[in-house]
A and B are shown apart, each in its own frame.
Chain A
Amino acid sequence: MAHLRAKNIHLSYPLIDRVKRTQTAEIAGTTDVGAQLNNRHQKSLQVVNDVSFSLEDGDRLAIIGPNGAGKSSLLNVLAGIYEPTQGILESEGSVSAVFNIGLGMRREATGYRNIEIRCLMAGLNKTDIQRVTRDVEGFSGLGEFLHLPVKLYSRGMALRLNFALVTAMRADIVLMDEWIGAGDKEFRAKVIERMHDFVGSASIVVLTSHNTKLLQRVCNYALWMERGHVVKYGDAHSIIEEYQTETAKKG
Protein backbone atom coordinates (compact mmCIF):
# COMPACT_ATOMS: atom_id res chain seq x y z
CA MET A 1 0.00 0.00 0.00
CA ALA A 2 1.54 3.26 -1.11
CA HIS A 3 1.13 6.50 0.75
CA LEU A 4 2.52 10.02 0.60
CA ARG A 5 2.14 12.32 3.57
CA ALA A 6 3.43 15.84 3.98
CA LYS A 7 3.36 17.44 7.41
CA ASN A 8 3.99 21.18 7.65
CA ILE A 9 6.47 21.31 4.81
CA HIS A 10 8.49 24.51 4.50
CA LEU A 11 11.09 25.23 1.89
CA SER A 12 13.29 28.27 1.59
CA TYR A 13 15.52 28.71 -1.39
CA PRO A 14 18.87 30.43 -0.85
CA LEU A 15 19.52 33.44 -3.07
CA ILE A 16 23.20 33.35 -3.80
CA ASP A 17 23.58 35.22 -7.05
CA ARG A 18 23.83 38.77 -5.87
CA VAL A 19 22.00 40.31 -8.77
CA LYS A 20 21.42 44.00 -8.41
CA ARG A 21 17.83 44.26 -7.49
CA THR A 22 16.47 47.74 -7.78
CA GLN A 23 13.13 46.84 -6.33
CA THR A 24 12.12 49.07 -3.45
CA ALA A 25 9.86 48.22 -0.57
CA GLU A 26 7.05 50.16 -2.20
CA ILE A 27 6.67 48.03 -5.28
CA ALA A 28 7.54 44.80 -3.49
CA GLY A 29 4.51 42.62 -3.14
CA THR A 30 2.86 44.01 -6.22
CA THR A 31 4.33 41.40 -8.56
CA ASP A 32 2.06 38.78 -10.03
CA VAL A 33 4.61 36.03 -9.81
CA GLY A 34 6.75 34.34 -7.25
CA ALA A 35 7.17 34.33 -3.53
CA GLN A 36 7.85 37.53 -1.72
CA LEU A 37 11.01 39.37 -2.67
CA ASN A 38 11.28 42.15 -0.17
CA ASN A 39 14.65 43.76 -0.33
CA ARG A 40 17.92 43.41 -2.13
CA HIS A 41 19.77 41.98 0.84
CA GLN A 42 17.39 39.11 1.23
CA LYS A 43 19.32 35.86 1.59
CA SER A 44 16.56 33.38 0.95
CA LEU A 45 13.19 33.01 -0.62
CA GLN A 46 10.39 31.25 1.21
CA VAL A 47 8.91 29.22 -1.66
CA VAL A 48 6.83 26.68 0.23
CA ASN A 49 5.15 27.63 3.45
CA ASP A 50 3.50 25.15 5.77
CA VAL A 51 2.02 22.64 3.33
CA SER A 52 0.33 19.52 4.64
CA PHE A 53 -1.64 16.77 3.00
CA SER A 54 -2.08 13.05 3.14
CA LEU A 55 -2.54 10.81 0.13
CA GLU A 56 -3.42 7.13 0.12
CA ASP A 57 -3.88 4.49 -2.54
CA GLY A 58 -5.93 5.75 -5.47
CA ASP A 59 -5.59 9.44 -4.64
CA ARG A 60 -4.81 11.99 -7.33
CA LEU A 61 -3.74 15.44 -6.20
CA ALA A 62 -3.79 18.53 -8.40
CA ILE A 63 -1.52 21.40 -7.42
CA ILE A 64 -2.81 24.67 -8.81
CA GLY A 65 -1.81 28.31 -8.55
CA PRO A 66 -0.26 31.12 -10.56
CA ASN A 67 3.33 31.10 -11.86
CA GLY A 68 5.84 31.04 -9.06
CA ALA A 69 3.31 29.93 -6.48
CA GLY A 70 5.67 27.16 -5.41
CA LYS A 71 4.05 24.28 -7.29
CA SER A 72 7.19 22.93 -8.90
CA SER A 73 9.24 23.54 -5.77
CA LEU A 74 6.75 21.48 -3.81
CA LEU A 75 6.94 18.71 -6.41
CA ASN A 76 10.71 18.77 -6.11
CA VAL A 77 10.37 18.32 -2.36
CA LEU A 78 8.01 15.39 -2.88
CA ALA A 79 10.50 13.84 -5.31
CA GLY A 80 13.27 14.09 -2.71
CA ILE A 81 15.34 16.43 -4.85
CA TYR A 82 14.93 19.31 -2.42
CA GLU A 83 15.10 18.48 1.24
CA PRO A 84 12.46 20.49 3.09
CA THR A 85 13.78 23.22 5.39
CA GLN A 86 11.19 22.17 7.94
CA GLY A 87 8.51 19.53 8.15
CA ILE A 88 8.26 15.83 7.56
CA LEU A 89 7.68 13.91 4.38
CA GLU A 90 6.62 10.30 4.68
CA SER A 91 6.21 8.04 1.72
CA GLU A 92 5.95 4.39 0.89
CA GLY A 93 6.32 2.99 -2.59
CA SER A 94 8.54 3.69 -5.56
CA VAL A 95 8.53 7.28 -6.78
CA SER A 96 8.83 8.45 -10.36
CA ALA A 97 9.29 12.15 -11.01
CA VAL A 98 8.36 13.21 -14.51
CA PHE A 99 9.57 16.80 -14.66
CA ASN A 100 11.70 16.83 -17.75
CA ILE A 101 11.24 13.92 -20.07
CA GLY A 102 14.50 14.52 -21.90
CA LEU A 103 16.48 14.38 -18.68
CA GLY A 104 20.12 13.42 -18.98
CA MET A 105 19.81 12.26 -22.58
CA ARG A 106 23.29 11.77 -24.01
CA ARG A 107 23.21 12.91 -27.57
CA GLU A 108 26.35 11.05 -28.55
CA ALA A 109 25.09 7.73 -27.23
CA THR A 110 22.68 5.39 -29.01
CA GLY A 111 19.02 5.12 -28.17
CA TYR A 112 19.62 1.75 -26.52
CA ARG A 113 22.45 3.06 -24.40
CA ASN A 114 20.28 5.96 -23.27
CA ILE A 115 17.50 3.58 -22.30
CA GLU A 116 19.95 1.58 -20.24
CA ILE A 117 21.41 4.60 -18.45
CA ARG A 118 18.03 6.09 -17.64
CA CYS A 119 16.82 2.75 -16.30
CA LEU A 120 19.88 2.41 -14.11
CA MET A 121 19.30 5.96 -12.90
CA ALA A 122 15.79 4.96 -11.92
CA GLY A 123 17.26 2.05 -9.96
CA LEU A 124 15.84 -0.74 -12.12
CA ASN A 125 17.33 -4.22 -12.11
CA LYS A 126 18.34 -6.28 -15.12
CA THR A 127 14.98 -7.92 -15.79
CA ASP A 128 13.15 -4.61 -15.44
CA ILE A 129 15.59 -2.97 -17.82
CA GLN A 130 14.90 -5.69 -20.37
CA ARG A 131 11.16 -5.25 -19.95
CA VAL A 132 11.41 -1.46 -20.36
CA THR A 133 13.64 -1.85 -23.41
CA ARG A 134 11.12 -4.17 -25.10
CA ASP A 135 8.34 -1.79 -24.20
CA VAL A 136 10.17 1.24 -25.63
CA GLU A 137 11.03 -0.70 -28.79
CA GLY A 138 7.38 -1.54 -29.25
CA PHE A 139 5.85 1.80 -28.45
CA SER A 140 8.32 4.26 -29.92
CA GLY A 141 8.31 2.62 -33.35
CA LEU A 142 11.92 3.71 -33.78
CA GLY A 143 13.12 0.27 -34.84
CA GLU A 144 16.68 0.22 -36.10
CA PHE A 145 17.14 3.88 -35.20
CA LEU A 146 17.61 2.82 -31.58
CA HIS A 147 21.05 1.62 -32.64
CA LEU A 148 22.01 5.14 -33.74
CA PRO A 149 23.23 8.07 -31.64
CA VAL A 150 20.37 10.22 -30.39
CA LYS A 151 21.90 13.31 -31.96
CA LEU A 152 20.83 11.98 -35.37
CA TYR A 153 17.18 11.85 -34.30
CA SER A 154 14.71 14.45 -35.38
CA ARG A 155 12.86 16.36 -32.67
CA GLY A 156 9.85 14.13 -33.11
CA MET A 157 11.92 10.96 -32.89
CA ALA A 158 13.65 12.14 -29.73
CA LEU A 159 10.26 12.90 -28.26
CA ARG A 160 9.03 9.40 -29.11
CA LEU A 161 12.02 7.88 -27.36
CA ASN A 162 11.77 10.09 -24.29
CA PHE A 163 8.05 9.69 -23.93
CA ALA A 164 8.11 5.93 -24.43
CA LEU A 165 10.93 5.62 -21.92
CA VAL A 166 9.41 7.78 -19.21
CA THR A 167 6.04 6.06 -19.42
CA ALA A 168 7.58 2.59 -19.55
CA MET A 169 8.98 3.03 -16.06
CA ARG A 170 6.01 2.39 -13.84
CA ALA A 171 5.99 3.54 -10.24
CA ASP A 172 3.67 3.52 -7.24
CA ILE A 173 3.85 7.29 -6.85
CA VAL A 174 3.99 9.45 -9.96
CA LEU A 175 4.84 13.16 -9.74
CA MET A 176 4.25 15.21 -12.85
CA ASP A 177 5.02 18.80 -13.68
CA GLU A 178 2.55 19.40 -16.50
CA TRP A 179 0.74 16.65 -18.33
CA ILE A 180 2.66 15.27 -21.30
CA GLY A 181 0.86 15.37 -24.58
CA ALA A 182 2.48 16.17 -27.88
CA GLY A 183 3.78 14.66 -31.06
CA ASP A 184 2.48 14.45 -34.58
CA LYS A 185 -1.15 13.68 -35.27
CA GLU A 186 -0.87 9.94 -35.56
CA PHE A 187 1.37 9.65 -32.48
CA ARG A 188 -0.83 11.93 -30.40
CA ALA A 189 -3.67 9.45 -30.08
CA LYS A 190 -1.23 6.79 -28.88
CA VAL A 191 0.21 9.30 -26.40
CA ILE A 192 -3.16 10.09 -24.88
CA GLU A 193 -3.97 6.42 -24.43
CA ARG A 194 -0.59 5.61 -22.97
CA MET A 195 -0.66 8.55 -20.56
CA HIS A 196 -3.94 7.26 -19.17
CA ASP A 197 -2.42 3.81 -18.78
CA PHE A 198 0.67 5.24 -17.14
CA VAL A 199 -1.23 7.44 -14.71
CA GLY A 200 -3.87 4.77 -14.16
CA SER A 201 -1.33 2.15 -13.13
CA ALA A 202 0.15 4.41 -10.42
CA SER A 203 -1.46 4.22 -7.04
CA ILE A 204 -0.81 7.89 -6.19
CA VAL A 205 -0.42 10.78 -8.61
CA VAL A 206 0.52 14.38 -7.91
CA LEU A 207 0.14 16.67 -10.87
CA THR A 208 0.48 20.32 -11.77
CA SER A 209 -1.06 21.70 -14.92
CA HIS A 210 -2.53 24.87 -16.31
CA ASN A 211 -5.18 22.77 -17.97
CA THR A 212 -7.88 22.91 -15.29
CA LYS A 213 -10.31 20.74 -17.27
CA LEU A 214 -7.80 17.93 -17.31
CA LEU A 215 -7.10 18.33 -13.60
CA GLN A 216 -10.80 18.16 -12.79
CA ARG A 217 -11.13 15.00 -14.81
CA VAL A 218 -8.10 13.22 -13.36
CA CYS A 219 -7.84 14.38 -9.75
CA ASN A 220 -9.87 13.94 -6.60
CA TYR A 221 -7.91 16.35 -4.39
CA ALA A 222 -6.63 19.83 -5.14
CA LEU A 223 -4.10 22.05 -3.41
CA TRP A 224 -4.35 25.72 -4.30
CA MET A 225 -1.12 27.60 -3.66
CA GLU A 226 -0.21 31.24 -3.84
CA ARG A 227 3.17 32.73 -2.93
CA GLY A 228 4.16 29.50 -1.24
CA HIS A 229 1.10 29.41 1.00
CA VAL A 230 -1.85 27.07 0.83
CA VAL A 231 -4.99 28.94 -0.10
CA LYS A 232 -7.22 25.89 -0.05
CA TYR A 233 -6.94 22.12 0.10
CA GLY A 234 -9.69 19.60 -0.42
CA ASP A 235 -12.11 18.29 -3.02
CA ALA A 236 -10.67 18.84 -6.49
CA HIS A 237 -13.85 19.74 -8.31
CA SER A 238 -15.03 22.59 -6.10
CA ILE A 239 -11.57 24.05 -5.42
CA ILE A 240 -10.61 24.15 -9.09
CA GLU A 241 -13.97 25.73 -9.83
CA GLU A 242 -13.34 28.40 -7.21
CA TYR A 243 -9.79 28.96 -8.45
CA GLN A 244 -11.08 29.52 -11.97
CA THR A 245 -13.62 32.12 -10.85
CA GLU A 246 -10.94 33.86 -8.80
CA THR A 247 -8.43 34.04 -11.67
CA ALA A 248 -11.17 35.16 -14.08
CA LYS A 249 -11.96 38.05 -11.70
CA LYS A 250 -8.29 39.10 -11.55
CA GLY A 251 -7.67 38.73 -15.24
Chain B
Amino acid sequence: MTPLSRTLKDLSTGAKDWRLWSALAKEDLAQRYRRTLIGVAWVAITFGLFIGAKVVVFGNIMQVPMGEYSLYVTLGFLAWQFISASVTDGCGVFANSENWIKGVNTPLSLYIYQAIARNFITLFYSALAGLLIILLMRHPFTFKTLMVIPALFVYLLNAVWFSMVFGIVTARFRDILHLVTTSMRIIFFLTPILWMPTQLGPGIRKYTDYNPFTHYLAIFRDPVLYDQYAWRSWLIVLSITAVGWLIGLIVFSKFRKRIVFWL
Protein backbone atom coordinates (compact mmCIF):
# COMPACT_ATOMS: atom_id res chain seq x y z
CA MET B 1 0.00 0.00 0.00
CA THR B 2 1.24 3.46 -0.82
CA PRO B 3 1.37 6.09 1.94
CA LEU B 4 -1.50 7.94 0.28
CA SER B 5 -3.79 4.92 0.17
CA ARG B 6 -2.95 4.25 3.83
CA THR B 7 -3.98 7.82 4.62
CA LEU B 8 -7.27 7.40 2.79
CA LYS B 9 -7.86 4.12 4.56
CA ASP B 10 -7.15 5.78 7.91
CA LEU B 11 -9.66 8.53 7.11
CA SER B 12 -12.36 6.12 5.94
CA THR B 13 -12.01 3.45 8.63
CA GLY B 14 -11.93 6.23 11.23
CA ALA B 15 -15.14 7.68 9.83
CA LYS B 16 -16.83 4.28 9.97
CA ASP B 17 -16.15 4.15 13.70
CA TRP B 18 -18.73 6.90 14.20
CA ARG B 19 -20.22 5.15 17.23
CA LEU B 20 -16.88 5.37 18.95
CA TRP B 21 -15.93 8.96 18.14
CA SER B 22 -19.39 10.26 18.86
CA ALA B 23 -19.32 8.42 22.22
CA LEU B 24 -15.92 9.93 23.02
CA ALA B 25 -17.10 13.39 22.00
CA LYS B 26 -20.23 13.12 24.15
CA GLU B 27 -18.10 11.88 27.03
CA ASP B 28 -15.79 14.90 26.66
CA LEU B 29 -18.78 17.23 26.96
CA ALA B 30 -20.39 15.23 29.75
CA GLN B 31 -17.12 15.50 31.65
CA ARG B 32 -17.03 19.26 31.19
CA TYR B 33 -20.53 19.69 32.61
CA ARG B 34 -20.58 16.75 35.03
CA ARG B 35 -22.52 17.43 38.22
CA THR B 36 -24.01 20.64 36.89
CA LEU B 37 -27.73 20.98 37.15
CA ILE B 38 -28.43 22.05 33.57
CA GLY B 39 -25.49 20.39 31.79
CA VAL B 40 -24.84 21.36 28.19
CA ALA B 41 -27.61 23.95 28.38
CA TRP B 42 -24.75 26.08 29.71
CA VAL B 43 -23.44 26.27 26.16
CA ALA B 44 -26.60 28.00 24.97
CA ILE B 45 -26.82 30.25 28.02
CA THR B 46 -23.18 31.32 27.74
CA PHE B 47 -23.66 32.08 24.08
CA GLY B 48 -26.84 34.08 24.64
CA LEU B 49 -25.37 36.14 27.46
CA PHE B 50 -22.20 36.79 25.51
CA ILE B 51 -24.14 38.11 22.55
CA GLY B 52 -26.35 40.17 24.83
CA ALA B 53 -23.40 41.84 26.51
CA LYS B 54 -21.66 42.53 23.24
CA VAL B 55 -24.72 44.04 21.63
CA VAL B 56 -25.38 46.27 24.63
CA VAL B 57 -21.81 47.53 24.81
CA PHE B 58 -20.83 47.78 21.15
CA GLY B 59 -24.27 48.27 19.65
CA ASN B 60 -24.36 51.78 21.04
CA ILE B 61 -20.92 52.67 19.73
CA MET B 62 -21.43 51.34 16.22
CA GLN B 63 -23.50 53.47 13.91
CA VAL B 64 -25.64 50.56 12.77
CA PRO B 65 -29.29 49.82 13.54
CA MET B 66 -29.46 47.72 16.70
CA GLY B 67 -31.50 44.94 15.08
CA GLU B 68 -29.06 44.46 12.23
CA TYR B 69 -26.08 44.66 14.55
CA SER B 70 -27.37 42.01 16.95
CA LEU B 71 -28.01 39.58 14.09
CA TYR B 72 -24.61 40.40 12.63
CA VAL B 73 -22.87 39.58 15.92
CA THR B 74 -25.00 36.49 16.56
CA LEU B 75 -24.26 34.89 13.20
CA GLY B 76 -20.63 35.96 13.11
CA PHE B 77 -19.90 34.80 16.62
CA LEU B 78 -21.71 31.50 16.09
CA ALA B 79 -19.48 30.70 13.13
CA TRP B 80 -16.39 32.09 14.82
CA GLN B 81 -16.87 29.94 17.91
CA PHE B 82 -16.85 26.80 15.82
CA ILE B 83 -13.93 27.91 13.63
CA SER B 84 -11.85 29.00 16.57
CA ALA B 85 -12.53 25.80 18.54
CA SER B 86 -11.74 23.71 15.47
CA VAL B 87 -8.44 25.50 15.05
CA THR B 88 -7.25 25.22 18.65
CA ASP B 89 -8.57 21.67 19.14
CA GLY B 90 -7.17 20.71 15.76
CA CYS B 91 -3.70 21.49 17.06
CA GLY B 92 -4.10 19.34 20.16
CA VAL B 93 -5.89 16.51 18.45
CA PHE B 94 -3.07 13.94 18.73
CA ALA B 95 -1.21 15.40 21.69
CA ASN B 96 -4.37 15.15 23.81
CA SER B 97 -5.01 11.53 22.90
CA GLU B 98 -1.52 10.33 23.76
CA ASN B 99 -2.72 7.44 25.92
CA TRP B 100 -5.01 5.94 23.33
CA ILE B 101 -2.58 6.42 20.47
CA LYS B 102 0.23 4.75 22.41
CA GLY B 103 -2.04 2.01 23.71
CA VAL B 104 -4.24 0.80 20.88
CA ASN B 105 -3.93 0.45 17.16
CA THR B 106 -6.75 2.63 15.84
CA PRO B 107 -7.03 4.95 12.86
CA LEU B 108 -5.61 8.33 13.86
CA SER B 109 -8.42 10.16 12.10
CA LEU B 110 -10.63 8.90 14.93
CA TYR B 111 -9.29 11.62 17.22
CA ILE B 112 -9.86 14.25 14.56
CA TYR B 113 -13.50 13.21 14.20
CA GLN B 114 -13.86 13.12 17.98
CA ALA B 115 -12.75 16.75 18.32
CA ILE B 116 -14.90 17.89 15.40
CA ALA B 117 -17.96 16.08 16.74
CA ARG B 118 -17.43 17.67 20.13
CA ASN B 119 -17.26 21.15 18.63
CA PHE B 120 -20.20 20.46 16.39
CA ILE B 121 -22.40 19.48 19.32
CA THR B 122 -21.37 22.70 21.06
CA LEU B 123 -22.22 24.61 17.91
CA PHE B 124 -25.64 22.97 17.86
CA TYR B 125 -26.48 24.21 21.36
CA SER B 126 -25.16 27.69 20.65
CA ALA B 127 -27.18 27.69 17.44
CA LEU B 128 -30.36 27.07 19.46
CA ALA B 129 -29.70 30.30 21.34
CA GLY B 130 -28.76 31.99 18.06
CA LEU B 131 -31.99 30.83 16.45
CA LEU B 132 -33.96 32.23 19.34
CA ILE B 133 -32.32 35.63 18.85
CA ILE B 134 -33.06 35.55 15.11
CA LEU B 135 -36.70 34.64 15.79
CA LEU B 136 -37.04 37.36 18.40
CA MET B 137 -35.75 39.88 15.85
CA ARG B 138 -38.39 38.61 13.41
CA HIS B 139 -35.76 38.30 10.75
CA PRO B 140 -37.20 36.77 7.58
CA PHE B 141 -35.93 33.40 6.34
CA THR B 142 -35.52 32.96 2.62
CA PHE B 143 -34.39 30.22 0.30
CA LYS B 144 -30.85 31.57 0.55
CA THR B 145 -30.85 30.96 4.30
CA LEU B 146 -30.37 27.31 3.40
CA MET B 147 -26.85 28.23 2.31
CA VAL B 148 -25.79 27.81 5.93
CA ILE B 149 -25.95 24.05 5.38
CA PRO B 150 -23.25 23.87 2.69
CA ALA B 151 -21.31 26.49 4.67
CA LEU B 152 -21.30 24.26 7.75
CA PHE B 153 -20.32 21.29 5.63
CA VAL B 154 -17.35 23.24 4.30
CA TYR B 155 -16.40 24.15 7.87
CA LEU B 156 -16.29 20.45 8.72
CA LEU B 157 -14.13 19.69 5.70
CA ASN B 158 -11.74 22.45 6.71
CA ALA B 159 -11.58 21.23 10.30
CA VAL B 160 -10.41 17.85 9.00
CA TRP B 161 -7.52 19.06 6.88
CA PHE B 162 -6.50 21.62 9.46
CA SER B 163 -6.31 18.93 12.17
CA MET B 164 -4.34 16.65 9.85
CA VAL B 165 -1.73 19.33 9.32
CA PHE B 166 -1.63 21.14 12.65
CA GLY B 167 -2.30 18.08 14.80
CA ILE B 168 0.89 16.62 13.40
CA VAL B 169 2.93 19.83 13.51
CA THR B 170 1.86 20.41 17.13
CA ALA B 171 2.65 16.81 18.13
CA ARG B 172 6.21 17.49 16.99
CA PHE B 173 6.57 21.16 17.98
CA ARG B 174 4.51 21.88 21.06
CA ASP B 175 5.00 25.66 20.82
CA ILE B 176 2.59 25.71 17.91
CA LEU B 177 -0.41 25.18 20.18
CA HIS B 178 0.41 28.29 22.19
CA LEU B 179 1.25 30.27 19.11
CA VAL B 180 -2.04 29.35 17.46
CA THR B 181 -4.13 29.96 20.60
CA THR B 182 -2.63 33.41 20.99
CA SER B 183 -3.02 34.17 17.29
CA MET B 184 -6.68 33.22 17.34
CA ARG B 185 -7.36 35.68 20.14
CA ILE B 186 -5.81 38.44 18.10
CA ILE B 187 -7.49 37.35 14.86
CA PHE B 188 -10.84 37.59 16.65
CA PHE B 189 -10.39 41.35 16.77
CA LEU B 190 -8.96 41.59 13.26
CA THR B 191 -11.91 39.72 11.77
CA PRO B 192 -15.26 41.42 11.13
CA ILE B 193 -17.27 39.86 13.96
CA LEU B 194 -17.91 42.74 16.33
CA TRP B 195 -17.37 45.43 13.71
CA MET B 196 -18.36 45.82 10.08
CA PRO B 197 -15.91 46.43 7.24
CA THR B 198 -18.08 49.31 5.99
CA GLN B 199 -17.26 51.23 9.15
CA LEU B 200 -13.58 51.25 8.30
CA GLY B 201 -11.93 53.81 6.05
CA PRO B 202 -11.34 52.54 2.51
CA GLY B 203 -7.58 52.47 3.15
CA ILE B 204 -7.81 49.85 5.89
CA ARG B 205 -10.91 48.10 4.60
CA LYS B 206 -9.07 46.29 1.84
CA TYR B 207 -6.95 44.47 4.45
CA THR B 208 -9.98 42.72 5.91
CA ASP B 209 -10.38 41.20 2.48
CA TYR B 210 -6.95 39.55 2.85
CA ASN B 211 -8.07 37.87 6.05
CA PRO B 212 -9.34 34.41 5.08
CA PHE B 213 -11.59 34.29 8.15
CA THR B 214 -13.54 37.24 6.74
CA HIS B 215 -14.64 34.98 3.90
CA TYR B 216 -15.30 31.95 6.06
CA LEU B 217 -17.70 34.07 8.10
CA ALA B 218 -19.28 35.69 5.05
CA ILE B 219 -20.43 32.39 3.52
CA PHE B 220 -22.35 31.66 6.71
CA ARG B 221 -23.56 35.13 7.68
CA ASP B 222 -24.33 36.91 4.43
CA PRO B 223 -27.02 34.54 3.08
CA VAL B 224 -29.00 34.79 6.32
CA LEU B 225 -28.48 38.45 7.08
CA TYR B 226 -28.25 40.11 3.67
CA ASP B 227 -29.95 37.52 1.47
CA GLN B 228 -26.73 37.29 -0.57
CA TYR B 229 -24.84 34.19 -1.65
CA ALA B 230 -21.39 35.77 -1.20
CA TRP B 231 -20.04 33.93 -4.25
CA ARG B 232 -16.68 35.63 -4.14
CA SER B 233 -16.12 34.51 -0.55
CA TRP B 234 -17.28 31.03 -1.52
CA LEU B 235 -14.69 30.92 -4.26
CA ILE B 236 -11.93 31.95 -1.86
CA VAL B 237 -13.05 29.50 0.83
CA LEU B 238 -13.30 26.60 -1.60
CA SER B 239 -9.83 27.36 -2.98
CA ILE B 240 -8.35 27.35 0.52
CA THR B 241 -10.21 24.11 1.26
CA ALA B 242 -8.78 22.43 -1.82
CA VAL B 243 -5.21 23.56 -1.13
CA GLY B 244 -5.60 22.68 2.54
CA TRP B 245 -6.72 19.15 1.73
CA LEU B 246 -3.82 18.72 -0.65
CA ILE B 247 -1.37 19.78 2.06
CA GLY B 248 -3.25 17.70 4.62
CA LEU B 249 -3.01 14.52 2.54
CA ILE B 250 0.68 15.09 1.87
CA VAL B 251 1.60 15.85 5.49
CA PHE B 252 -0.54 13.04 6.90
CA SER B 253 0.83 10.49 4.43
CA LYS B 254 4.39 11.50 5.17
CA PHE B 255 4.26 11.72 8.96
CA ARG B 256 1.29 9.63 10.11
CA LYS B 257 3.37 6.72 11.36
CA ARG B 258 5.76 9.01 13.20
CA ILE B 259 3.16 10.73 15.37
CA VAL B 260 3.27 8.01 18.03
CA PHE B 261 6.99 8.62 18.59
CA TRP B 262 6.45 12.33 19.16
CA LEU B 263 3.89 11.95 21.90
List chain A positions with a Cβ less than 8 A from chain B: 13-14, 16, 79-83, 95, 97, 99-100, 103-104, 106, 108-109, 113, 116-117, 120-123
A117 closest partner in B (C-beta): B23
B7-48 Cβ-contact flags toward A at 8 Å (1 or 0): 000000000010110011001001100100000000000000
* Residue in contact with B19 in the complex, picked from A80, A103, A120, CB distance below 8 Å: A120
B103 pairs with A104, CB closer than 8 A: yes
Q: Can you list 10 A-B contacts (CB < 8 A)?
A: A16-B172, A95-B105, A97-B103, A103-B100, A103-B104, A104-B100, A104-B104, A116-B23, A120-B19, A120-B23
B20 pairs with A121, CB closer than 8 A: yes
B20 pairs with A120, CB closer than 8 A: yes
Instruction: Tally A-B pairs: CB < 8 A.
Output: 58
Return chain A residues, CB-CB under 8 Å to B257: 82-83
For the complex formed, measure the closest distance between the CB of A137 and the CB atoms of chain B, giving whole angstroms: 20
A117 pairs with B103, CB closer than 8 A: no
B19 pairs with A113, CB closer than 8 A: no
* Residue in contact with B103 in the complex, picked from A99, A113, A123, CB distance below 8 Å: A99
Bound together, the chains give a CA A48 to CA B102 distance in angstroms of 17
Known contacts A16-B172, A108-B31; is-contact A81 B103 (Cβ 8 Å): yes
Return chain B residues, CB-CB under 8 Å to A106: 27, 31
Bound together, the chains give a CA A82 to CA B259 distance in angstroms of 9
Return chain B residues, CB-CB under 8 Å to A14: 258, 261-262
Bound together, the chains give a CA A100 to CA B262 distance in angstroms of 19
Return chain B residues, CB-CB under 8 Å to A80: 105
A117 pairs with B104, CB closer than 8 A: no
Return chain A residues, CB-CB under 8 Å to B20: 117, 120-121
Known contacts A14-B258, A14-B261, A16-B262; is-contact A81 B23 (Cβ 8 Å): no
Bound together, the chains give a CA A117 to CA B25 distance in angstroms of 11
| B20, B34, B100, most chain A CB atoms within 10 A | B20
* Residue in contact with B102 in the complex, picked from A81, A83, A109, A121, CB distance below 8 Å: A81
Nearest 6 pairs between A and B by C-beta? A80-B105, A83-B257, A120-B20, A103-B103, A108-B31, A14-B261
Q: Does B99 contact A (CB under 8 A)?
A: yes
B260 pairs with A121, CB closer than 8 A: no
A121 closest partner in B (C-beta): B104
Q: 11 more A-B contacts (CB under 8 A) besides A16-B261, A116-B23?
A: A13-B261, A14-B261, A79-B104, A81-B260, A103-B99, A104-B103, A106-B27, A109-B31, A113-B27, A120-B23, A121-B104
Return chain A residues, CB-CB under 8 Å to B31: 106, 108-109
A104 pairs with B30, CB closer than 8 A: no
Known contacts A103-B99, A120-B20, A121-B20; is-contact A97 B105 (Cβ 8 Å): yes
Known contacts A117-B23, A120-B23, A121-B20; is-contact A108 B260 (Cβ 8 Å): no
Q: Does B60 contact A (CB under 8 A)?
A: no
B256 closest partner in A (C-beta): A83
Q: Does B96 contact A (CB under 8 A)?
A: no
Bound together, the chains give a CA A97 to CA B34 distance in angstroms of 31
B258 closest partner in A (C-beta): A14
A81 pairs with B258, CB closer than 8 A: no
For the complex formed, measure the closest distance between the CB of B170 and the CB atoms of chain A, giving whole angstroms: 13
